[in-house]
Amino acid sequence: LVAQCQDQKSQHKNKDKAFGVLRSRLYEQELAKKQAEDATKRTSQVSSGDRSAKIRTYNYSQGRVTDHRIGMDIFDMDGVMNGKIQKLIDELQLVNNMEKLKEASEVF
C-alpha cells in the first residue's frame, strides 16, 4: 500500500496526513478480510435445507439415535428423548475442538 500527500508546504504535516490515510486504508483492508472470514464461517454453519443434509436421525424401531455430523450412534432412544444427551454433546465438542486445532495448525 502506498499513501502520498502533497497538500501542505510542510513536509511533516504531509507525512502525518499520509500516515493517516495509510492507517485508514489498512484498517479498511483488515475489516474487509475479517468480514469475509465471518461470512465464510456463517455459510459453513448454515444448513442447505436439503434433505440429504441431515443432522440427526431418530430410529424408533431400533431405539437408535444417529448424529450424522460426527457419525455417532446412541442406542438409548428413551434416554436421549428424556434429555440425556451429554455423551453426544461431549463428542460434538471434541470434534469441534479438533477442527479448531487443525485450522490453527494450518495457519502456522
Read off the C-alpha cell for 45. Answer: 454453519
Write 56-61 long-range contacts (CB < 8 A, 24+): none
User: Euclidean distance between the first and final Cα of the chain, in Å?
Assistant: 24
Read off the C-alpha cell for 57. Answer: 436421525
- The pTM (predicted TM-score) of the whole model is 0.53
- The tens digit of pLDDT for each residue in 44-81 reads 777 666 666 788 999 999 999 999 989 999 999 999 99
What is the CATH architecture of 49-108? 2-Layer Sandwich (3.30)
Name the 3-class secondary structure at 103.
helix
